[in-house]
Structure 1
Amino acid sequence: MGLTAGVLAIDAGNSKTDVAVVAPDGTVLATARGEGFRPPAVGLDTAMAALAATVARALAAAGAPAVAHVSACLANADLPVEEQQLTEALETRGTTVEVRNDTFAVLRAGVTEPRGVAVVCGAGINCVGMHPDGRTARFPALGRISGDWGGGWALAEEALWYAARAQDGRGAPTALARALPAHFGLPDMPALIEALHLRRVPSSRRHELTPVLFATAADGDPVARAIVDRQADEVVTMATVALTRLGLLDERTPVLLGGSVLAAGHPRLVDRVRALLADRAPRAVPRIVTAAPVLGAALLGLDRLAAPPESHHRLRAHFGT
């Protein structure tokens, strides 16, 4: 028959999916990793099939055919209608199901109670906030149509834009015009533009230019530094608005910084984020989160089950936090 586990925790990002099966006492019974979760790109049925395969491996390894609660933090669950759609798709997996955007997993992983704000800057950018009374603050995070700017893809695109204009004289000179094509072994921006347009350099590799941007900024290039500074401003703007919506702007509150761009710890970006927060939200306590987001999804599940503090401690110990 097998046992009924407490929580099936899912952290499904654009690039990978992590699943953990957790007992009510916080013991991790099994984990599994699968491919990214991208319903807008591959369709809901295909994305759910891949997710189901990862879940099935984790449940089989745990010897737990059923769970009391599914806590799923999923990329692309940006709107309430999408959360409801994904909840319905997961309802056969547990007695209760709660679907949240994957940014909530980063937030919960970095706090000892469901209270604070998290800004995730990875491929894109998103921000959420939680208050112990159950209130949340969030943004649609659908890209430019919802007022968003930033993340690895946007930074790479911005670097390309400025480099192209520097090359042909429409913009200010910048070392990006040499550094970006050099990354791909190309002589100049016209060669890189042609390679990208004709897909000799796949568009999927554009994200490789984000570290080049940060390296160029670190070397003192004014244009690259301005792009990095703009990213810092966007991070702080989102965090400040979330704090304000939750009435936490004047209270000592954690502001968690996660995602590949922020977790990389680029000094200019992180230092500017801290400086801007000190000016706009002096009570905020910024901290970079490197804990596995699936930990946050599991903690949210234990919250739902009203598990005792020792269960949370045991779970955190498993993940080394």
Structure 2
Amino acid sequence: MGAVSGSAPGIVIAVDGGGSKTDAVALDLDGTVLASARGTTSSPHIIGMGAAADLVDELIASLVQQTGDRPIVQTNIYLSGLDLPAELAAFGEHIAGLPWAGAVVDNDLFALLRAGTSEPDAVAVVCGTGINCVGVRSDGAVVRYPSLGMSSGDWGGGWHLGEQALWHAARAVDGRGPSTALVQAIPAVYGLESVQDVIEALHFERIPNSDLALISPAVFDAARAGDGVAIGLVDRQAEEIVVFAVTTLRRLGLLDRPTPVVLGGGVIGARDARLMQAIEEGLADRAPLAHIELVTAAPILGAGLLALEAAGADADALERARGELGARQAALPVG
């Protein structure tokens, strides 16, 4: 990663990796953003633990090069797919020996949570390619979930919406299920003629299984047009988000006090009116003291703030970083 000058002022590194992209930034201790880099997904569930560590290392090396080999005083890394203690340990083994091996490493939900609130009692739900939730309490208690899909009780996010939409479309075609506009909408997503074409393309791996997530916008479009099957899927997604949040609030004993529920991820970020209304109504009914904080900024904002806080930055530095990361967000390079 190049020679490091001991007399140069130190920098703070923050990395946030999700299901589709990974953002990294270098910041001065006063909160000034010095450099940024972007890569593809770094989720170990998608590309493997070794590849995830390699990608993060490449991004950090790019930041160090951009900042003139200034020494790193703090590194915080938050990745989708680091859900279990064994996964965190495995990532630690893969980065052992690297200059940033002492980094704070955790799930990307913590970056989302910090992007949405600085409150010590809070819950965050991400609904993007998949779905996950985390909750924290001022005394240090944490509630988290394995987030391994159906096997760990999870349902939701773009992939599950796409998978279920295709299931319904297939049954509509052969008469086992009700008719739905998804029969026409799903093939159009992939430039194909029929649901059968999509099924065969998935079976023969001409379409990657992960690309089922591409169907989810069509589900919301169909629901807005009044399609009953799509409406059912959107309502189910809202219910899953509410259940995650309310369950976490209950497990932390926070139902009796005002608590932010931070919401983020691509599915939520699209701000579908039906989805958001159902979430708001569900929380109002089952957790009336909770209030929604919708995160529109990229979670790299939260990762940067957490890294600066760990380095001892003051309130002015955090405010500067919030402003600069928000302003530079759209300008991050595409990897």
- TM-score normalised by L of structure 2: 0.89
| 1:7 and 2:12 are equivalent in the alignment | yes
- Corresponding letter in the other structure for 1:79: L
Q: 2:319 corresponds to which residue?
A: 313
Question: SS in structure 2 opposite 1:290?
Answer: coil
Distance 1:219 1:151, change over 3 A: same
Q: 1:241 corresponds to which residue?
A: 247
Q: How does 1:134-149 map to 2 (within 5 A)?
A: 134-149=140-155
Deviation at 1:25, TM superposition (A): 1.9
Instruction: Return the match for 1:128 from 134, 138, 146.
Output: 134
Question: SS in structure 2 opposite 1:33?
Answer: strand
Corresponding pairs, count: 321
Instruction: Return the match for 1:22 from 13, 24, 27.
Output: 27
| 1:60 and 2:73 are equivalent in the alignment | no
Distance 1:89 1:24, change over 3 A: farther
Moved over 6 A (4+): none
Instruction: Return the match for 1:231 from 230, 237, 246.
Output: 237
Instruction: Return the match for 2:271 from 265, 270, 275.
Output: 265
Q: Which runs of 5+ in 1 are unaligned?
A: none
Deviation at 1:24, TM superposition (A): 2.0
- Corresponding letter in the other structure for 2:298: A
Whole-angstrom CA distance in 1 between matches of 2:48 and 2:182: 36
Whole-angstrom CA distance in 2 between matches of 1:141 and 1:162: 24
- Corresponding letter in the other structure for 1:311: A
Q: Render the CA deviation track for 1:170-222: whole Å, top value 9, x for unaligned.
A: 11222212222243344432333233323444444322211111100111111
Identity of counterpart residues, as a percentage? 46
Q: 2:331 corresponds to which residue?
A: none
Instruction: Return the match for 2:76 from 71, 80, 84.
Output: 71
Whole-angstrom CA distance in 2 between matches of 1:313 and 1:64: 26
Whole-angstrom CA distance in 1 between matches of 2:100 and 2:200: 51
Q: Which runs of 5+ in 2 are unaligned?
A: 328-335
Whole-angstrom CA distance in 2 between matches of 1:279 and 1:216: 27
Q: 2:223 corresponds to which residue?
A: 217
The RMSD of aligned alpha carbons is 2.0
Question: SS in structure 2 opposite 1:320?
Answer: helix
Question: SS in structure 1 opposite 2:260?
Answer: strand
- Corresponding letter in the other structure for 1:191: D
Distance 1:89 1:184, change over 3 A: closer
Distance 1:184 1:22, change over 3 A: closer
- Corresponding letter in the other structure for 2:158: G
Q: Render the CA deviation track for 1:231-283: whole Å, top value 9, x for unaligned.
A: 10110111111112222212111111111000011111111011101111111
